[in-house]
Structure 1
Amino acid sequence: MLRPYARSVTVLAKGLRAELHDHGDGLFSGVLPMRSVPEYRLLIAYDSPDGRGLHEVETDDPYRLLPALGELDLHLIGEGRHEQLWRALGAHPMLHQGVTGTRFTLWSPNARGVRVAGSFNHWDGGGFPMRSLGASGVWELFVPGVGEGALYKFEIMRPDGTHTLRADPMARHTEVPPANASVVTVSRHEWRDADWLARRADRPVHEAPFSVYEVHLASWRPGLNYRQLAEQLPSYVKDLGFTHVELMPLAEHPFGGSWGYQVTGFYAPTSRMGSPDDFRFLIDALHRAGLGVIMDWVPAHFPRDEWALADFDGRPLYEHGDPVRAAHPDWGTLEFDYGRKEVRNFLVANAVYWCEEFHIDGLRVDAVASMLYLDYSREEGQWTPNEHGGREDLDAVAFLQEMNATVHRRCPGVVTIAEESTAWDGVTRATEHGGLGFGLKWNMGWMHDSLEYMAREPVHRRFHHHEMTFSMMYAYSENYLLPVSHDEVVHGKGALVDKMPGDWWQRRANHRAYLGFMWAHPGKQLLFMGQEFAQGAEWSEAHGPDWWLLDPSYAAEPDHRGVRLLVRDLNTVYGRTPALWERDTVPEGFEWIDCEAAEDNVLAFVRFDAGREPLVSVSNFSPVVREGYRIGVPEWVPAWAEALNTDEERYGGGGIRNGVAGAGGDGERGPLAPEPEPSHGRGSSLLLTLPPLATVWLRPVRTS
């Protein structure tokens, strides 16, 4: 046996004490006078740290014990179908053959040898070579005495005889970056969200209220850890009325400036804010507040750090074997080899892992378009067509279909969301019907068109009216989510309110009117942190939202507080109004009232719930008050009232309202009686006063 730096090794067994022969360089051997291998321990002597005499350590010998990984695990790994791969690979503390320790397991098919090095052996893996478990490419070693908190890496001998020290691809806990060792971990969190999980699948997500607050967790309140965030984030988001929180990527990543989109530890929540159980605590708190948790997931690429996945065991393993195909053209990273069953298994199991082990309610899959197309960001001659002569990456398609089907089968109620910016057909179509199987798709076309429209001076908007109406030409081709995400408020793009033209009052009015239009438009909605109170500065991961804008001592504080109040009311009315979410994905849920009022910069439409209960939305994107503005409305409604008006004074507006003010002085307005005058193809109509740069929602008032 190999025990580097040892002075002597003695075998201890019942009725036996045998000192092994020292061959030098840490190699010891001996022949025991026994017919079978007994249950034995080792007594190892080292030089004392103080240089005085010897220090003896008694321990179990890893090689006395049988492999701790079962045949079924190896079979499933070989098939690329181990849906709980994290339970088979990685580091797992356990009791094995009566001995307490940790099982280390690694898939590394190109390695000539693998050793475990860590804090428990002074980072010298010489005494801990792992066993090869045959054609599976899996290496295994149970190390007695190693437990929770131990640091480790794998020392791999490449095919050319050189060595590389690598973090565990399946590590479930890591050191705090920039340190990059893997950490042995055990979960002790006791979940308290059973009621939430039991209700999660009650209603299909595309027929449910779904309003998302996107958060970069490390900068939302800089300096807070997961448990401290659990004291603040749930109550803040719940007060605003959102149904879900979306967390930008939290899988471990070496460079904070990547915002988590260049992942090295796919199975480890970042240690920057605490332990994996601390992260579980935060999710548990969000669930108990009635909030769903979506996490950004990045299976499109990974960075080239030499201690992580790139060229893992001397040859391309996780990346494609063709260097041109492997290199991501935009981000200097590597693309996964989706055609390799073990790599596909690594990613599919990873999606399941976050949902099962951390109770994540949804995965927003980043950069799907870059996965689907072989020619993505590549010029002619830089890519090779698929077997049918097309540009579709058939392996990536198969992977996404398998991932979605597996997650939906194993985790009822979990939604997968595609960030996909092309016209790929069937992103949210079920896999059994040939689609990719996502639950929702980001509507990037709506986002780009609507923001370009809003950035224009109102006098020019009439020439670009189609930018606000075109989305309804394809609104039912997929199940859409309307995103105003972090990508739209960085890199010189300006915050949402800063995209708007005009003076400060007009910019805020545009901001409010746009949010009113967005919440009423078919599709779910997502808003990035800081935009809920009209932060004027671009987001930076270094300092996060400008919370000081809400400080009562700040002179302009009411301006920002008003916008935040509007967002809360938008979500409140939205959640109580099935017309705004129940039929998001079918034509029966929407009708234009007027989509051609380009000269007026007015957009009017009606939404319906499953029982045909309507809600009317009218947006005036010009800076003038429009008196006596007639719009046609559903004939069967006897009276109407404002459900929401973004020009209310409490939101920072001018207070131009419709209906007679109530006697109670609480801001409620009396009903509006429709007139039997036809308009917009309808038998009855309303005469409205449209506030400048504002959106008004009208709801039916039942008189009986």
Structure 2
Amino acid sequence: MLAGEHHDPHSVLGAHPEKGGVRVRALKPYAKRVTLVADGLRAELEPEGDGLFSAHLPLAAAPPYRLAVTYDSAEVTGDDPYRFLPSLGELDLHLIGEGRHEELWKALGSRVMTHDGVTGTRFAVWAPNARGVRLAADFTYWDGTSLPMRSLGATGVWELFVPGVGAGTAYKYEITGPDGHRRMKADPMARATEVPPATASVVTDSAYTWRDEEWMAHRADVPVHRAPFSVYELHLPSWRPGLGYRELADVLPAYVKDLGFTHVELMPVAGHPFSGSWGYQVTSYYAPMPRLGSPDDFRFLVDALHRAGIGVIMDWVPAHFPKDDWALARFDGEPLYEPADPRRAEHPDWGTLEFDFGRTEVRNFLVANAVYWCEDFHIDGLRVDAVASMLYLDYSREGGDWVPNAYGGRENLDAVAFLQEMNATVYRRCPGVVTIAEESTAWDGVTRATHHVGHTGFGGLGFGLKWNMGWMHDSLGYIGHEPVHRKYHHDEMTFSMVYAYSENYVLPISHDEVVHGKRALVSKAPGDWWQQRATERAYLGFMWSHPGKQLLFMGQEFAQGGEWSYEAGPDWWVLDPGYEASADHRGVQELVRDLNAVYAATPALWQRDTDPGGFEWVDGGASEDNVFAFLRLDTAGEPLLCVSNFSPVVRHDYRLGSPAGVWAPVLNTDELRYGGSGVLLPDHVKTEPTPYQGRPHTVVLTLPPLATVWLRPDSA
């Protein structure tokens, strides 16, 4: 017991029948006196050394009792944790053992509850390799001796109900591993944590009342791939440095709604100790980062976004976790959440550990975590980070540094099974939620249903959407060239249409593209400041009209010129009217607002994003002109004509094949109010009955320099 290696302290401590009565034992190190108190009964427990006290009571059965413990300076009275039966039921334990507990957070971790008529907190942790587990907390002065936990059999779960302990209590588990060494570990299932650099877990009990009933009732009305989906990605701690969740709720929903984005995507909000990881090295998978407030404060922010009509996507990181000795790594003294083989455990790029996706309990930990965020925090989507690193056993590994699968291949079959299970579970339990893969390879069937087998023999991974990293890489490369050289790279802008319908895509200009020397979006373009802004505007117009949903990282919506800093956040000062170039930045911001407004009002731009019949090239081969022209069509066949001119010259009398009719411009990125040169199209452009480019009519346009124009049929 004193070594922290007893698997069943309840068999020794508490009340137990013995000949002639009941024996009550208590382990209270540093106590001067321990007294049993019950109705009509008060009995002193005799000290037996090393903090153990006991007494024989000449009773047929032990009554409900409390212990009055006297220390040097005070007496503390409370219920004895060791007089209670286990607070976890057989069904919970069965599901944990099977790796199928979809509400794992309700069974493991710390939970305020009433047990046998007494209010307290149940602590439960999975540590199958441990010799013993004890609870250490702020109220025990971080000494776990007096609170050993009991093992609940083959599941590897250890449990203890502690009466009188409530929300706000800081705690850790003191785990004795197979080597006899004791480790202080944070709770993997903690739903709240201390603010870093402190590392303890914190008992929490939500009192939040949601007010987003209308949003939740209707978010599944239209499948996401047939709905408007324009995402504003942000890093919460740096979007407005110094604001917490509740303060952000006062300004973020209004800002995003004003710009017309349908969703926000939050870089990871799960607990992470190092701010410089941006949240991608998670230590507390079930706890929102405490730097910005409590879990209920985070609920308040999500609620406010929903009531403003904004969906909430969260970055989720099941690919790897850091090696901090107080967290998941070698949790119970042995590899537990990570594979035992270091060739599979070590992530070579990030100095982290990978999860053991083949272990049912680990897979359950992650699948339940995905469900938890969607159900407990009303999250509308999970963008799953670094999927490629999970799918391939040889990812960033050389030669013999990796172990093939059972068939000799490089595919991580366990990771495939995990992703399929996660997606299937989330979609079954959480109507209207979308999962999004950040997957950078040509893996077949990322957004195919899990029961549909592709040519590679694998079922689909079951994601709803996938980031189109190929489009992002190619298109950013194109605009980085001088206009005179772009004709040699024309296919970098058209190649995406070769595979545009192989998956359900999101077009991402994310945080990864504006850091580490890659430069901000506006700074990627060559030329002077006017040309750079014009190129960004033309590019955004092209991006918003290209098949697929779109995502833009904060700061790019107003042409921030510097790279993103997680410490400083966006350069909001460039929008200050006192700044001489503020109109330039406000012009780009106004364009983004109008792009989203026209986009939302134009079904052709989103209704058939996954249907090849929703797109037709008008001219995809005008490389000498740096021009791209295509039609988008909605389900009724109503077209939108999109033309981008990535040359800095005005192209007069530019002829394009067209359906018959009259076109009316609805967006022109060269308008003066956006900071453009003001080359405008007539309000009505009538087609000529001259066949051209395989179409029955011709439309003749004036194309503004470095600009994108959208035109729709004029019904007047």
Asked if Structure 1 and Structure 2 have the same fold, meaning a TM-score greater than 0.5 normalized by the shorter chain, the answer is yes
How far 1:56 moved relative to its partner? 1.7
Distance 1:14 1:627 in 2: 98
Instruction: Give the partner amino acid of 2:268.
Output: P
Q: Which residue of 1 aligns with 2:242?
A: 223
Among 418, 427, 430, the alignment partner of 1:411 is 430
Q: Which residue of 2 aligns with 1:302?
A: 321
1:541 aligns with 2:560: no
Write the deviation string for residues 283-325 of structure 1: whole angstroms up to 9, x where unpaired.
Answer: 0000000000000000000000000000001000000110121
Q: Which residue of 1 aligns with 2:184?
A: 165
How far 1:107 moved relative to its partner? 0.6
How far 1:13 moved relative to its partner? 2.4
Distance 2:412 2:121 in 1: 40
Instruction: Give the partner amino acid of 2:503.
Output: E
Among 461, 464, 470, the alignment partner of 2:486 is 461
1:531 aligns with 2:556: yes
1:692 aligns with 2:715: no
Among 680, 694, 698, the alignment partner of 2:693 is 680
Distance 2:301 2:68 in 1: 45
Among 414, 439, 452, the alignment partner of 2:477 is 452
Among 312, 318, 336, the alignment partner of 2:331 is 312
SS, match of residue 599 in structure 1: helix
Q: Which residue of 2 aligns with 1:105?
A: 124
Distance 1:226 1:12 in 2: 46
Please say which of residues 290-299 and 321-330 is displaced more in the overlay.
Answer: 321-330
Instruction: Give the partner amino acid of 1:515.
Output: L
CA contact (8 A) 2:330 2:336 kept: yes
Write the deviation string for residues 412-452 of structure 1: whole angstroms up to 9, x where unpaired.
Answer: 00000000000000000011212000000000000000000
Distance 1:329 1:396 in 2: 17
1:176 aligns with 2:176: no
| Aligned residues between the structures | 685
Q: Which residue of 1 aligns with 2:172?
A: 153
Among 621, 624, 628, the alignment partner of 2:653 is 628
Among 562, 565, 570, the alignment partner of 2:590 is 565
The aligned runs of 1:189-228 (5 Å cut-off) are 189-228=208-247
Distance 2:272 2:399 in 1: 33
1:345 aligns with 2:364: yes
How far 1:355 moved relative to its partner? 0.2
1:655 aligns with 2:678: yes
Distance 1:430 1:31 in 2: 65
Instruction: Give the partner amino acid of 2:568.
Output: H
SS, match of residue 120 in structure 1: helix
Q: Which residue of 1 aligns with 2:101?
A: 82
Please say which of residues 6-15 and 553-562 is displaced more in the overlay.
Answer: 6-15
Among 411, 414, 417, the alignment partner of 1:395 is 414
Distance 1:375 1:301 in 2: 15
SS, match of residue 31 in structure 1: strand
Instruction: Give the partner amino acid of 1:187.
Output: S
Distance 1:347 1:419 in 2: 17
SS, match of residue 206 in structure 1: helix
Q: Which residue of 2 aligns with 1:644?
A: 667
Please say which of residues 117-126 and 510-519 is displaced more in the overlay.
Answer: 117-126
How far 1:95 moved relative to its partner? 1.1
Distance 1:327 1:117 in 2: 30
CA contact (8 A) 2:656 2:700 kept: yes
CA contact (8 A) 2:343 2:403 kept: no
How far 1:455 moved relative to its partner? 0.1
Distance 1:222 1:43 in 2: 48
The aligned runs of 1:233-312 (5 Å cut-off) are 233-312=252-331
1:63 aligns with 2:82: yes
Distance 1:12 1:366 in 2: 55
Q: Which residue of 2 aligns with 1:362?
A: 381
Distance 2:42 2:300 in 1: 50
Among 554, 564, 579, the alignment partner of 1:554 is 579
How far 1:20 moved relative to its partner? 1.4
The 4+ residue runs of structure 1 with deviation greater than 3 A are none
How far 1:120 moved relative to its partner? 1.7
1:28 aligns with 2:87: no
Distance 1:531 1:679 in 2: 38
Instruction: Give the partner amino acid of 2:698.
Output: S
Write the deviation string for residues 258-301 of structure 1: whole angstroms up to 9, x where unpaired.
Answer: 00000000000000000000000000000000000000000000
How far 1:117 moved relative to its partner? 0.7
Q: Which residue of 2 aligns with 1:52?
A: none
Among 111, 115, 121, the alignment partner of 2:140 is 121
Q: Which residue of 2 aligns with 1:484?
A: 509
Distance 1:58 1:186 in 2: 24
Distance 2:291 2:40 in 1: 52
Q: Which residue of 2 aligns with 1:582?
A: 607
How far 1:14 moved relative to its partner? 3.1
Distance 1:393 1:133 in 2: 32
Identical positions, percent: 74
Distance 1:314 1:125 in 2: 17
Distance 1:164 1:27 in 2: 24
Write the deviation string for residues 505-562 of structure 1: whole angstroms up to 9, x where unpaired.
Answer: 0000000000000000000000000000000000000100000100001110110000
5+ long unaligned stretches in structure 2: 1-25, 453-458
Q: Which residue of 2 aligns with 1:470?
A: 495
CA contact (8 A) 2:480 2:524 kept: yes
SS, match of residue 495 in structure 2: helix
How far 1:100 moved relative to its partner? 1.2
Instruction: Give the partner amino acid of 2:462.
Output: G
Distance 2:312 2:76 in 1: 48
1:516 aligns with 2:529: no
Instruction: Give the partner amino acid of 2:548.
Output: G
Distance 1:160 1:407 in 2: 39
**TM-score (structure 1 length as normaliser):** 0.97
SS, match of residue 477 in structure 1: coil
